[in-house]
A and B are shown apart, each in its own frame.
Chain A
Amino acid sequence: MSVSTISTTGRTFMLPDLGEGLTEAEVIEWHVAPGDEVHVDQIVVTVETAKATVDLPCPYSGPVLTLHNAPGAVVEVGRPLLTIGAERISGAEEQSGSGNVLVGYGTSEAKRSGRRRVNPEGRPTAANNLGSDAAARTINAPATTAPATAAPSVAPKVISPVVRKLARDNQISLARLAPSGPGDVIRRADVEAAVRMGEAGLASQEVAPAQVPAGADRADDIRTPLRGVRKTIADKLTRSRREIPEATTWVDVDATGLMAAKDEIKAVNAVARIGLLALFARISIAGLTKFPELNARVNVEAQEIVQLRDINLSFAAQSPRGLVVPVVHDAAEMTTAELAAALRELTELARDDKLTPAQMTGGTFTLNNYGVFGTDGAAPIINYPEAAMLGVGRIIDRPWAHEGQVALRKVAQLGLTFDHRVCDGRTAGGFLRFVADCVERPVLLLAEL
């Protein structure tokens, strides 16, 4: 805002703030008319403000060109009063056209046209704009921050910033944890438990309170609330079944050859302790290399299938808290001996309940040896967000057609459960057949190494 503007047509006197915060004035009477010659400080108009009636002296000399308001008009501070024609301009007046001359102390600020700058730290995301106005800016708040949505469901309460950060670092969604402490405050124990169960990268959901089953209210029924880790697992399984259109294909195999191979390796290299699980791992990896479509995941939001470059092999293991799924990262880079060592190490850690979050996340394919439970087959639930799981049943003596005779061979059932979105039956069958062939004749692996 300025008192003066220089244009080719003249200089304009704007209405100033005449009283420490006044915003307008009414024109009472003009004392000059267009065409009159006025000199500096000559009284040209009388105006009335909320505080007083004031005679205004003109800052310029020259002919009056325009009177901008009629008597009775109410003029806002900063708006034109009259324009004086250009005159022989002195050096100083020339400079005054810079537009910096003061007017209107205490009058309204220039209207803000949107956010004037990004966060000086260079992170303009809405999540960091805590001080900025308008709810509009929180629309794109990332999912990892607790949603500050309305009504009774408030943001999760966490015992301390340290624990909150622990959760965030492990991609634990706070909203999916059921707090175990009084006041519904999520405790460190809750977060650590969730981390140990290998839960990761889940989008936020409503925290559903534990429901008492309707109707079946018998005193001796045993109730276990779905809270904490139990709840997390339940949610994940549910999501897997809900989202993934899975199919299962299975085949019986004669694993005698694999068992023999295992014994031969042991005879030569007992130190490496390469067991069946490691061999099945090696075969699975070879299979995934051959059929990479199965080492993938589906991103529904982005509407795409992502074929993952690295093979991170998940496998089932027992821990004091129940089943856990540790992950051998970059399994494809390992030798079979290294695989065996990794599997063994992770199994021990699981048994001692010492797995770290990193060791329980990032899997791309699961090898599930449920045969240890003494069963043959299963239609397992895929380990979301993976796309496939190879299941191995128990290996027992069974009659088999061997070289034209009926013989007792070491037979097992292999099952492949897969996300039908990532491939068709041909690929899945091809993978399973390949695995079966390698189990029956391990030497075939040589061609795939």
Chain B
Amino acid sequence: MTLTAAAHAAGAPASARQQVTMSGAINRALRDAMTADADVVVFGEDVGTLGGVFRVTDGIARDFGQDRCFDTPLAEAGIVGFAVGMAMAGFRPVIEMQFDAFAFPAFEQIASHVAKMRNRTAGRVNLPIVIRIPFGGGIGGVEHHCDSSEAYYAHTPGLKVVTPATVEDAYTLLREAINDPDPVIFMEPKRLYWSKGSIESAVAATTFESFGHAAVRREGTDVTLVAYGPSVDVAMQAASAAIESGWSVEVVDLRTIVPFDDETVVNSVRKTGRCVVVQEAQGFAGVGAEIAARVQERAFHSLHAPVLRVAGLDIPYPPPKLEHLHLPGVERVLDAIARLQWDDNADTRFLANASKGGAA
């Protein structure tokens, strides 16, 4: 059992600088939300008695009762559709899709109904549903357990897409997601479930207004790395490593993909003049492509180099033994930074006659 579960089962407040895991932070957020609002209910496969395959809902069914936290039959479309009906009846369902790829059977319910109900009914029926989805790889998982499907949801109007990268944000953003009158796809970077952090100040907050507000995790002057979810960690590591090469790297954590914080991202790129987007998901037609398009449109005149993306390869997620080649790592990010036309040297990668040219 985690520190969190033990502490909270006893009703003890978090002591100063107590570290909890991200999984524990989510657990705590669920509990606090359920305590604050009797209409918040949690359900999905194995979330009740077992407490979730990642222990995220550990102890909740026991402490809040089977009415508030219960197991469902193994049917993802059914779970989401059931949540639609429950929401129509006045509940605030927080449901779980056990792994990223297992949400696909539910995709129709999500895209055709969850995303559209408010719009279809001209605002008369809204669905305050949170769909929690563990996503991303880097855990040595077998097929279907490591995908990153955020692009499908980001591309569907009517859904908010939230990707916490830190333990504190896991708490804060989930609280806000549950409070939101609209559906939220809450994507949890599973390889960070066991990372540790403090949620002390987050827990003490009375309002949660982080959606649409990206965070500058590290300030720098030479280049902006834009990342979300598990890639923020990679970006931060790359930023540290970049010091050796003389680059001062700024890291922007999007926190929410929808709503998107254009202002913070653009201000950062206007300052640095260079931008690299880091994402785990396959690059082609991914969220990174949208970010790059927005940055070049809005910060065009400040750019010293093209906006680059470091992303997963355009392949089905590979088996565990090869996933390290697929996932964007620090080296690949540094390679991308190196391509950013420093010292008036053009990036000739895509030029046919790259070898031609005289001396200045």
Contacts and interface: CB of A to CB of B under 8 A. Distances in A.
A contacting B, Cβ–Cβ less than 8 Å: yes
A181 B357 contact: yes
B360 A185 contact: no
B358 A225 contact: yes
B359 interface: yes
Interface stretch (A17-25, A49-57, A159-167, A303-311): A159-167
A188 interface: yes
Interface stretch (B86-94, B129-137, B298-306): B298-306
A228 interface: yes
Interface in A333-382: none
Given A159-B346, A162-B273, A189-B360, A183 B354 contact: yes
Contacts of B341: 159-160
B304 A162 contact: yes
A183 B353 contact: yes
A185 B303 CA distance: 16
Interface in A177-193: 178-185, 187-190, 193
Contacts of A187: 344-346, 360
A162 B300 CA distance: 8
A410 interface: no
B348 interface: yes
How many interface residues does chain A have, given as a range? 20 to 34
A124 to B, nearest CB: 21
B328 to A, nearest CB: 24
A420 to B, nearest CB: 39
A297 interface: no
**Which one of B300, B301, B360 has the highest number of Cβ atoms from chain A below 10 Å of its Cβ?**
B360
A227 B305 CA distance: 25
CB-CB nearest 8 A-B residue pairs: A183-B351, A185-B346, A183-B348, A180-B360, A182-B357, A183-B354, A159-B346, A187-B344
Interface of A: 157, 159-162, 165, 178-185, 187-190, 193, 210, 225, 227-228
23 contacts: A157-B351, A159-B344, A160-B305, A162-B304, A180-B358, A180-B359, A181-B346, A182-B346, A182-B351, A183-B353, A183-B354, A183-B356, A184-B353, A184-B356, A185-B346, A185-B348, A185-B351, A187-B345, A187-B346, A187-B360, A189-B344, A190-B360, A193-B360
Given A157-B351, A161-B302, A180-B358, 20 more contacts: A157-B346, A159-B344, A160-B303, A160-B305, A162-B302, A162-B303, A162-B304, A181-B345, A181-B357, A181-B360, A182-B346, A183-B351, A183-B357, A185-B351, A185-B357, A187-B344, A187-B345, A188-B344, A193-B360, A227-B358
Interface of B: 273, 300-305, 341, 344-346, 348, 351, 353-360
